[in-house]
Amino acid sequence: MTNVLVTGGAGYIGSHACKALKAAGFTPVTFDNLCTGWEDAVKFGPFEKGDLLDRPRLDEVFAKYQPVAVMHFAALSQVGESMSNPGKYWLNNTCGSLNLIEAACAAGCLNFVFSSTCATYGEQDNVVLNEDSVQLPINAYGASKRAIEDMLRDFDASHGLKSVIFRYFNVAGGDDEAEIGEFHRPETHLIPLILDAIDGKRAALTIFGTDYDTPDGTCIRDYVHVCDLVDAHVLGVNWLRADKGSRVFNLGTGSGFSVREVMDAAAQVTGRTVPFNEGPRRAGDCTKLVSGSTRAEEELGWTPGRSTLDRMIADAWRWHQSGHYEK
């Protein structure tokens, strides 16, 4: 058995990663406290319920499965909440990750794939980001993730822990077979909220800020298809197992879309109108986050082939309309 420990495997991205790992011949072992995940999304390998802050439980799971690598997704990820309750982010994301890193080192599991974020870059002048862009996060979510990146570098120097760090931002779309998909409660992400507004699950979408320095005044983000994203993570495990060493990769498409452009695309794909109103800015939001992925393409052989806006919205819409959404 070639086990990979997947923290957050019951969540949106983690469950898609488990499916991709299984397809690549690994056994994904999900470690998740179900604070935002769903047990019925754990379909592709064993489930171990546990909290990253519980070190004895982590030690037990490492001893039981002896994973060849860790894929670490478990984290809180709401920018707005991280501004109102930063302690929750520093405790769960940063302290939780420290526990996990120490447990991995103690167990001799020295391959670590980490889900980081372009939010670590913060506000930059209208540039397409690359891995060498300066990291100056403007919200506690991004800061909590940057600190974990720093830890990984330190534990490489001290313990030989090798990491592949993926920095990405707006993940969208879903599994081809709609076996799993995006399901957050509360939902805060743009595309599922637009789909909720379209089919009347909520009254209207509120656009957070229309006075940004962008062509239409709304924020610009780079959207990556979740299946492309998790493919990169499997390539990351193989990279580490081939002893290629620690490396950071941005995962983006190099193209950004404004909130209004995403709404227009959703209207087009679904053939419906998007009820919306305009509200104030949300704390912690950057004007524009767009990330190229030249390094991932050249060095990992990654291709974000499914990451067109129409495809991501169509996949999300299919999942949205399936019975799964109503559980």
Which residues contact ligand UDP by CB under 6 A?
Answer: 79, 169-170, 188-190, 193, 205-208, 219, 221, 259, 282, 285
CB of 326 to ligand UDP, least distance (A): 21
Structure tokens at 315: 């996949």
Asked about 141 being catalytic, the answer comes back as yes
Q: Which residues have CB under 8 Å from 1's CB, separation 6+?
A: 27, 65
Cβ atoms within 10 Å, residue 323: 7
Which residue, 161 or 207, has its beta carbon nearer to ligand UDP?
Answer: 207
Which residue, 110 or 219, has its beta carbon nearer to ligand UDP?
Answer: 219
CB of 130 to ligand UDP, least distance (A): 19
CA distances from 283 to 83, 168, 221, 280 (A): 7, 20, 16, 9
CB of 82 to ligand UDP, least distance (A): 10
CA 138-213-127 angle, to 5 degrees, is: 65
Question: Which phi and psi (to 5°) does residue 223 adopt?
Answer: -105, 130
Which residue, 97 or 258, has its beta carbon nearer to ligand UDP?
Answer: 258
Catalytic residue among 12, 65, 89, 141: 141
CB of 208 to ligand UDP, least distance (A): 4
Which residue, 91 or 138, has its beta carbon nearer to ligand UDP?
Answer: 138
Which residue, 58 or 219, has its beta carbon nearer to ligand UDP?
Answer: 219
Structure tokens at 100: 């996990």
CB of 202 to ligand UDP, least distance (A): 9
Chain position whose Cβ is nearest to ligand UDP: 219
Residues annotated as part of the active site: 141
